[in-house]
Amino acid sequence: MSSNKTEIGFVSIVGGGPGPIDLLTLRGLERIRKAEVILYDALLDPSFLEVFPEDSLCLYVGKRSGQHSRTQEEISGLIAEYALQGKRVVRLKGGDPSVFGRLAEELEILKTNSIPYEIIPGVSSITAGAAALQTSLTLRGVARQIIILDGHTIMEDNKSWVGMENFQGTIAILMGTRKIKELSLKLIEKGISPNTPIAIVENAGGKKEVHSFSTLECSKEKGLPKQTDGPGILYVGEALRILLQKETNQETSVSLT
Ligand SMILES: C[S@@+](CC[C@H](N)C(=O)[O-])C[C@H]1O[C@@H](n2cnc3c(N)ncnc32)[C@H](O)[C@@H]1O
């Protein structure tokens, strides 16, 4: 790698949103249109390809469900390599770069090589999923906190569950839709009431967006079947009670005062 400072380019780390291009920010779009090199993730709609400049070098570096096109080290290396060649690089990520996006590793290599960069936030799937449910993740007097869990590795980590029995809020579990039964069981074991509502949202923000509801108790036994092969988020918490009750036509017990 060359370290000639006069030739160093610039890296824009862009949050692409939950999939559809109309949930990309204007600033992100502007950087993409001026990019010479674009390294992009999985989970972005094919319509993104239409806004990539024709003369830019576009490299797919996505990782989905264990199918990794490149290792993280390779991705970080490519970003630095092109920037050190003096290119305007866009690193386009799904959702927001700061949420389970390996942002820290990519920043480290940029800092190590004194490469100038910016981070452009994106609409996270966490909030896109809430919009799909037409709900608020916080609810006055009911849900004062939100925690975001990595469903892929959380089972192996005992520390993250400490104090869960006292948690009053909404849990958003990413990368966990293949383990809904196990996650439901674990949450009950850790002190969350079996009666707590849960929802799964798939393809939030997109044309194939779907959702369904259950309770921890039910999904401990039956799971909450996925309806598509797209990405999904599992939400757990009392803020979903009204939605579950609407779905099952039961009386509401949540006070909105
Ligand atoms: C590696 S994480 C990246 C999260 C991303 N940085 C964000 O802010 O949304 C990928 C996970 O995000 C969730 N996800 C991403 N896009 C989604 C979508 N459109 N609908 C539902 N879940 C989505 C899924 O849980 C997926 O397994």
Q: 37 lies in which domain range?
A: 5-120
Contact between residue 235 and residue 213 where contact means Cβ atoms under 8 Å apart: no
Is residue 255, in this structure, part of any structural domain at all? no
DSSP 206: S
- Between the CA of 148 and the centroid of ligand 1 the distance, in Å, is 11
Contact between residue 111 and residue 117 where contact means Cβ atoms under 8 Å apart: no
Q: How many domains does the chain have?
A: 2
150 catalytic, yes or no? no
Specify the amino acid at residue 112.
T
Instruction: Summarize the confidence of residues 53-62 as an average pLDDT.
Output: 95
pLDDT at 252: 47
pLDDT at 1: 52
41 catalytic, yes or no? yes
Atom of ligand 1 nearest to the CA of 97: 6
Shared domain check, 12 and 91: yes
Shared domain check, 229 and 180: yes
Shared domain check, 129 and 113: no
pLDDT at 156: 83
Shared domain check, 203 and 95: no
Is residue 254, in this structure, part of any structural domain at all? no
- Between the CA of 236 and the centroid of ligand 1 the distance, in Å, is 16
Q: Which of 105, 120, 135 is the last residue of a domain?
A: 120
Confidence category of residue 250, pLDDT binned at 50, 70, 90: low
Is residue 44, in this structure, part of any structural domain at all? yes
User: ∠ CA(68), CA(227), CA(139), 5° rounding?
Assistant: 95
Contact between residue 224 and residue 200 where contact means Cβ atoms under 8 Å apart: yes
d(CA 9, CA 23): 27
Q: With residue 247 as reference, give the H or E element that holds it.
A: helix 241-248
Shared domain check, 161 and 216: yes
Contact between residue 247 and residue 200 where contact means Cβ atoms under 8 Å apart: no
Instruction: Summarize the confidence of residues 48-52 as an average pLDDT.
Output: 95
pLDDT tops 50 at residue 255: no
Instruction: Summarize the confidence of residues 45-58 as an average pLDDT.
Output: 95
Shared domain check, 170 and 66: no
DSSP 43-94: SS-TTHHHHS-TTSEEEE--EETTEESS-HHHHHHHHHHHHHTT-EEEEEES
pLDDT at 66: 61
3-state secondary structure of 124: coil
Q: How many CB atoms lie under 10 A from the CB of residue 257? A: 4
Residues 19-30 have pLDDT tens digits of 999 999 999 999
- Between the CA of 198 and the centroid of ligand 1 the distance, in Å, is 17
d(CA 193, CA 218): 12
Instruction: Summarize the confidence of residues 176-187 as an average pLDDT.
Output: 94
Is residue 256, in this structure, part of any structural domain at all? no
Q: Which of 58, 86, 120 is the last residue of a domain?
A: 120
Q: Which of 93, 120, 147 is the last residue of a domain?
A: 120
Is residue 199, in this structure, part of any structural domain at all? yes
Give the CATH number, domain containing residue 215: 3.30.950.10
| Torsion 94-97-78-11 (CA) sign | positive
pLDDT at 257: 45
Mean pLDDT for the chain overall? 91
pLDDT tops 70 at residue 67: no
Residues 208-248 have pLDDT tens digits of 999 999 999 999 998 898 999 999 999 999 999 999 888 88
Tell me the backbone φ, ψ of residue 75, rounded to 5 degrees: -65, -50
Specify the amino acid at residue 117.
Y
Pocket of ligand 1 (CB under 6 A): 18-19, 43, 94-96, 99-101, 124-125, 128-129, 174-175, 201-206, 231-233
